Structure 1
Amino acid sequence: MPRFARLFEAAADTLNAFYAAIAESNLETAMDLWIDEEFVSYIRADGPHLHGLERIRAGLAQQFERGRTTIEALDVRVYDSLGTVVYAAAEAHRRADQSETMVFATYVMVHERGEWRIAHVHASVMPEETAGQFVAKMRRGRGPLH
């Protein structure tokens, strides 16, 4: 059992590396985290649907030109099986201009050749009412979504 526990922890390392690459606007590091398949897709919270590695690269480069963004995972749910891990996360996206957007994001990770890689990301902006309720619960110290 401990071997499987470490296997899934490594998927979390990939997610954390993605967050770090986004915060650092590091295109090469961000791209190294994706599975090397053309079926990959990234639906960004600001709207673009990017399919394939080249479109994802171009979309991330465009995103990085607008300035740095940090992503803080506020609540993460994990669904795992032997070769796939899915993260459902509520996140705060903070830009360099100090603006903040609350986002729901789903990350699909695939275990291939001994490594966890991103196969799909789907992010969407939370409705204002939902974001307000989420933030209020966090401020009351009750923890996320309890």
Structure 2
Amino acid sequence: MPRFARLFEAAADTLNAFYQTVADGSIDALMALWIDEEFASYVHAGGAHWHGVDQIRAGLVAAANAHTLPTAIEPLDVRVYDSLGTVVYTVAEAHRLPEPLAQPRMVYTTYVMVHERGEWRIAHIHASPMPEETASEFAAKIRHGQGALH
């Protein structure tokens, strides 16, 4: 196996850690996954744009307080594009909100991971709501137990 094969698997570990920290509700653990640079950016599915780790933290805290931060994210379809120092994930996701009876919000999210000091870190997230027709198709497949890729 080539040496770099494990390198890209580790980027998936960072994405999985992101999903887990969202479920745990820990902003500190979530922020530990980000690159330590001011060029980090996050476009929230609600439309907010946050630049730099301080603004990202403040935006996530505000979203959590407003109950617009998901309590769980379920990846439905994952595509991976990688190069030596960067991995990009494009993911169709179901975002579960704090309200127990609310339908999941269907979102397309792009994650950009960079390899920094031996670890994969999040440099950018861009999330946007799926068009209603596409979201309905994903939801119907999930309800019928077909999974997202059938």
Fold conserved between structures, TM > 0.5: yes
Which one of the candidate residues 76, 88, 91 is aligned to 1:89?
Answer: 91
Q: Partners of 2:66 and 2:16 in 1: how far apart? A: 22
1:58 is matched with 58
Q: TM-score, normalised by structure 1?
A: 0.92
Can you list the C-alpha shifts for 1:53-90, whole angstroms capped at 9, x where unaligned?
11001011112224451000011000011100000000
Query: Contact (CA 8 Å) 1:134, 1:145: kept in 2 or not?
Result: no
Structure 1 Cα separation of the partners of residues 138 and 75 of structure 2: 13
Aligned partner of residue 85 in structure 1, secondary structure? strand
CA RMSD of aligned residues (A): 1.6
- Partner letter of residue 59 of structure 1? G
Which residue of the partner structure matches residue 118 of structure 1?
Answer: 122
Q: 2:82 and 2:144 mapped to 1: Cα distance? A: 31
TM-score, normalised relative to structure 2:
0.90
Match in the other structure for 2:39? 39
Q: Which sections of structure 2, spanning at least 5 residues, go unmatched?
A: none
Query: Could you list the per-position Cα deviations for residues 88-146 of structure 1 after superposition, in whole angstroms to 9, with x for gaps in the alignment?
Result: 00000001213210000000000011000000000001111110112223445554345
Aligned residues: 146
